[in-house]
Amino acid sequence: MAQDGELRLHLEYELADEPARVFRELTDPVELARWWGPDGFSTPSAEIDLRPGGAYRIAMQPPEGELFHLVGEYIDVDPPAGLAYTFRWEDPDPEDRETVVTLSLVGTGVRRSRLILDQGDFVTERRLALHEEGWAQSLGKLGEMLASRAD
């Protein structure tokens, strides 16, 4: 996770669909709202302008607590190979700063993909761990959803 003093997140997931379909799940507001967020969270809305320089804003609702938003801009959009975007919370925690998320998709067989996620740099180990848990739960939900469609 940490390299040369930098706090970075790296995750890899095997998913039961081709890269083009996974890319759609990552970028279509309706599809994204079905799986986005840690366990118990809902996604009441997702606004996406999918182009380099385009903005996104995702509303997240925890099981208990106030609605909050994740915002950023797309840096690179390369369907179906992947995308990169900035990631920041509206009203960030003092330990937060804007990070960059890079998602890469590689076909690994018939209706199979590997999703590679890199995000950083984080200010603290605590914030890195929080993001790791959130991504793991979110991508776990995406994996389950794709697997159920493959049956």
pLDDT in tens, 1-44: 444 568 999 999 999 999 999 999 999 999 999 999 999 999 99
Going by pLDDT thresholds of 50, 70 and 90, the confidence category of residue 56 is very high
Q: Which pLDDT belongs to residue 5?
A: 64
Structure tokens at 83: 């995308």
Q: Where are the domains of the chain?
A: 10-150
Q: How far apart are CA 130 and CA 141, in angstroms?
A: 17
Q: Are 61 and 45 in contact (CB under 8 A)?
A: no
Instruction: Tell me if the pTM is above 0.85.
Output: yes
Mean pLDDT of all residues in the chain? 94
pLDDT in tens, 94-116: 899 999 999 999 999 999 999 99
Q: Which pLDDT belongs to residue 151?
A: 66
Could you tell me what percent of the chain has a pLDDT over 70? 96
AA letter at 123: V
Q: How far apart are CA 73 and CA 52, in angstroms?
A: 8
CATH architecture group of domain 10-150: 2-Layer Sandwich (3.30)
